[in-house]
Amino acid sequence: MTVPQPDTLKRPIPSTKERITAVGLGTYGVFDAGLSKTARDPLREVLRLFVEGGGGMVDSSPMYGSAERVVGDLAGDLAVRDALFLATKVWTSGREAGVRQMEDSFRLLRTNVIDLMQVHNLMDWETHFETLRAWKEEGRVRYAGITHYATSAFRTMEHIMKTAHPDFIQICYSIVTREAEERLLPLAADLGIGVIVNRPFETAGLFGKVRGKPLPPWAKEFECASWAQFFLKFILSNPAVTCAIPATGNAAHVLDDRKAGYGALPDIRMRKKMVHYIDTL
């Protein structure tokens, strides 16, 4: 069984109902290209194809080397800033250090407004949230969020969700890392908090698990034509998820990934079948 979807899957941000495409673009590792034209040219094509296919969310961080600068430069060169939902992070301790780092992000991303500023790995989150609340009032940032890459942080994230009410959380969730289904995803749905999923492919580890294996024939029931789409459609079929952000610097991969945002999604019965299939490989 499948759940029909519109031609391009978009999800509302719970706090405002603004809609963004459910397949975004991560920049960790792959967009750390420095000033090299040879390294940047493939990324220019990735960003062009991403926007051409209706993509919006691009997620970065000061932790990702030169990724913010590369995103800002390429978005400027392609004149696509208005099509992007720019998300980045603050990753330091102390108010003044946080302000300086976030000001750097504005400069590197070449923008006067950052759509989503997130506290990376919860570092000094209470301090930074005071700044973000003020900047939201001023219109400098549109949304505020928290992130973490590990399931061990979920309990702390629950506390922050209940007390600080961020617009977004960014968490690890995949077909093999499903702890978020127990408490965090239901809580996000209850509180009206958007969910961004990082590491949807387990840093490419999932592809190693299925290497050399064909897709099960029943994947066609939810219009799935690749393993990347299989893994992304599993994530997106959880209604609490707002957006998944696979990172890629490969044009063919960005075209493949975005197809997960089209057509049908698996229903509850099919999700269980997918999990059983992967767990028994």
pLDDT (0 to 100) of residue 234 = 98
Question: Is 230 a member of any domain?
Answer: no
Question: Is 37 a member of any domain?
Answer: yes
Strand partners, 41: none
Question: Is 151 a member of any domain?
Answer: yes
Question: Is 2 a member of any domain?
Answer: no
95 — pLDDT class (breaks 50, 70, 90): very high
| pLDDT exceeds 60 at position 1 | no
- Strands 141-147 and 168-172: what pairing? parallel
In DSSP notation, 122-150 reads: GTTHHHHHHHHHHHHHHTSEEEEEEE-SS
Convert the pLDDT of each residue in 137-186 to its tens digit.
999 999 999 999 999 999 999 999 999 999 999 999 999 999 999 999 99
**Which of the residue ranges 6-10, 49-53, 171-175 has the most confident prediction, judged by mean pLDDT?**
171-175
Convert the pLDDT of each residue in 265-279 to its tens digit.
999 999 999 999 999
Question: Is 73 a member of any domain?
Answer: yes
7 — pLDDT class (breaks 50, 70, 90): low
Question: Is 234 a member of any domain?
Answer: no
pLDDT (0 to 100) of residue 3 = 58
pLDDT (0 to 100) of residue 9 = 86
* Spatial distance between the Cα atoms of 70 and 74, rounded to a whole number of angstroms: 6
Domain CATH number, residue 94: 3.20.20.100
Q: Work out how many domains the chain is built from and give that number.
A: 1
Tell me what percent of the chain is helix, strand and coil, each rounded to the nearest 5.
50, 15, 35
In DSSP notation, 50-113 reads: HHHTT--EEE--GGGTTHHHHHHHHHHHHT-GGG-EEEEEE-SSSHHHHHHHHHHHHHHHT-S-
94: left (phi over 0), alpha (psi -120 to 50) or beta: left
The whole domain housing 151 covers: 9-216+239-262
**Lowest mean pLDDT, pick from 4-13, 66-75, 118-127, 148-157:** 4-13
Question: Is 85 a member of any domain?
Answer: yes
Question: Is 3 a member of any domain?
Answer: no
CA atoms within 13 A on the CB side of 266: 23
Strand partners, 195: 169
